[in-house]
């Protein structure tokens, strides 16, 4: 099958990694790029050999034949751009978080469904090499049914320095990081039955929250999952950004994902250790190594679905379940109450 041709919407921070990840996968070629600042689009086009540039997304879709659109813009632009792609009957991949609120996210899914085109969400966190390894061990039954788990993404990394726009978000860590980590919880333990959340703002110069703690009953109330998230930029003895740590207790053992990608499986036979580092790519920022590497298998999964060769994991319909958790977490924190889904 010839390469699929696609348009990139957005020439910001994440486009620097999303585009080369497509080249790494192969089978898809960016032929046009839109950005509201034309000079930024032109700069990105020159860097990656993209033929067409535009500061008008509708004109781009009118004038340039593409097989799909990859939206890598600010979250407040996601809904209108997805609706535009649906209007032109173009399959669309959209960055997370899907949208600024649940209703508009539901509208995006409905618009693509009505247009008969797929909507995929670029949710790459679950595609991290060590997280996939943990999922494989859980699926093997090695520790039996998990009854309690902890997911930690706690960092002193100065995330606001290279992404200063994050300071201006009214809702920050739950939408930005929680979209990833709550999706990972679903990936590992199934759907949430109930949720309770508390949030904090440690940085005084930001608008949203930078600390969140979420507790969920998941998988038919079989597993209690506590998710700890923080970008407090406080001092940690060992900074491991952007690694996610896991500790899972099962009926017949325990499973841990610790620093430097070490996975520890402990049963009555003893402890087995295996290091599961991500692959290294020349275009990836070493500070984001495991995250940038996970873009490649995520793109590969979505491309296979676009070509009709398999099912995408992170469809719009599936990601709506994560979006509902994110906004339920805000409701829980604001009202100081447990939210039940069943």
61: CATH: 3.40.50.720
Check whether residue 150 and residue 253 sit in a common domain: yes
Are 157 and 50 in the same domain? no
> Consecutive sets of 10 residues in the chain, 342 residues long: mean pLDDT of each?
95 96 98 98 98 98 98 97 98 97 98 98 98 98 98 92 88 96 98 98 95 98 97 83 97 97 98 98 94 98 97 98 98 98 86
pLDDT at res. 162: 80
Domain end position, chosen among 55, 89, 122: 122
Distances (CA, A) of 183 to 6, 122, 131, 273, 284: 26, 12, 12, 26, 23
If asked whether residues 162 and 113 sit together in one domain, one would say: no
Q: What is the pLDDT of residue 276?
A: 98
Give the model's pLDDT for residue 93. 98
Same domain, 57 and 22: yes
Asked if residue 283 is part of any domain, the answer here is no
CATH number of the CATH domain containing 167: 3.30.360.10
Question: What does the pLDDT read at residue 238?
Answer: 78
Same domain, 91 and 214: no
Are 115 and 210 in the same domain? no
Query: Is there a single domain that holds both residue 177 and residue 94?
Result: no
pLDDT confidence of residue 62: 97
Last residue of a domain, one of 122, 146, 177: 122
Number of domains in the chain: 2
Q: Indicate whether 87 and 221 sit together in one domain.
A: no
Are 184 and 217 members of one domain?
yes
For residue 158, the enclosing domain spans 136-270+314-340
Q: Are residues 234 and 257 in the same domain?
A: yes
pLDDT on residue 161 = 87
Q: Are residues 253 and 324 in the same domain?
A: yes
Three-state DSSP string of the chain: CCCEEEEEECCCCCHHHHHHHHHHHCCEEEEEEECCCHHHHHHHHHHHCCCEEECCHHHHHHHCCCCEEEECCCHHHHHHHHHHHHHCCCCEEEECCCCCCHHHHHHHHHHHHHHCCCEEEECCHHHCHHHHHHHHHHHHCCCCCEEEEEEEEECCCCHHHHCHHHHHCCCCHHHHCHHHHHHHHHHHHCCEEEEEEEEECCCCCCCCCCEEEEEEEECCCCEEEEEEEECCCCCCCCCCCCCCEEEEEECCEEEEECHHHEEEEEECCEEEEEECCCCCCCCCCHHHHHHHHHHHHHHHHHHHHHCCCCCCCCEHHHHHHHHHHHHHHHHHHHHCCCEECC
Residues 236 and 266 in one domain: yes
pTM equals 0.96
């Amino acid at each position: 099958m010839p390469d699929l041709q696609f348009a990139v919407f957005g020439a910001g921070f994440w486009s620097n990694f999303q585009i080369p990840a497509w080249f790494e996968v192969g089978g898809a070629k960016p032929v046009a790029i839109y950005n509201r600042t034309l000079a930024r689009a032109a700069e990105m086009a020159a860097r990656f050999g993209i033929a067409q540039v535009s500061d008008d997304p509708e004109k781009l879709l009118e004038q340039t034949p593409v097989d799909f659109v990859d939206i890598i813009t600010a979250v407040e632009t996601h809904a209108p751009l997805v609706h535009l792609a649906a209007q032109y009957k173009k399959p669309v991949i959209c960055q997370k978080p899907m949208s600024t609120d649940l209703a508009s996210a539901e509208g995006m899914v409905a618009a693509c469904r009505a247009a008969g085109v797929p909507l995929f969400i670029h949710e790459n966190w679950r595609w991290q090499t060590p997280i996939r390894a943990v999922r494989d061990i859980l699926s093997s039954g090695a520790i039996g049914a998990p009854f309690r788990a902890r997911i930690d993404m706690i960092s002193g990394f100065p995330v606001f320095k290279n992404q200063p726009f994050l300071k201006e978000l009214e809702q920050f860590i739950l939408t930005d990081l929680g979209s990833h980590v709550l999706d990972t919880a679903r990936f590992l333990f199934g759907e949430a039955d109930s949720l309770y959340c508390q949030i904090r703002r440690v940085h005084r110069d930001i608008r949203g929250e930078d600390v969140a703690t979420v507790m969920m009953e998941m998988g038919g109330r079989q597993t209690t999952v506590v998710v700890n998230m923080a970008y407090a930029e406080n001092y940690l003895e060992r900074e491991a950004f952007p690694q996610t740590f896991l500790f899972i207790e099962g009926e017949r053992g325990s499973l841990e994902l610790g620093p430097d990608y070490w996975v520890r499986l402990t049963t009555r036979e003893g402890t087995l250790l295996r290091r599961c580092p991500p692959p290294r790519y020349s275009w990836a920022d070493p500070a984001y190594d495991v995250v940038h590497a996970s873009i490649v298998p995520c793109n590969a999964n979505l491309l296979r679905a676009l070509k009709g060769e398999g099912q995408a994991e992170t469809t719009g319909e599936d990601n709506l379940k994560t979006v509902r958790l994110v906004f339920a977490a805000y409701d829980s924190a604001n009202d100081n109450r447990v939210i039940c889904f069943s």
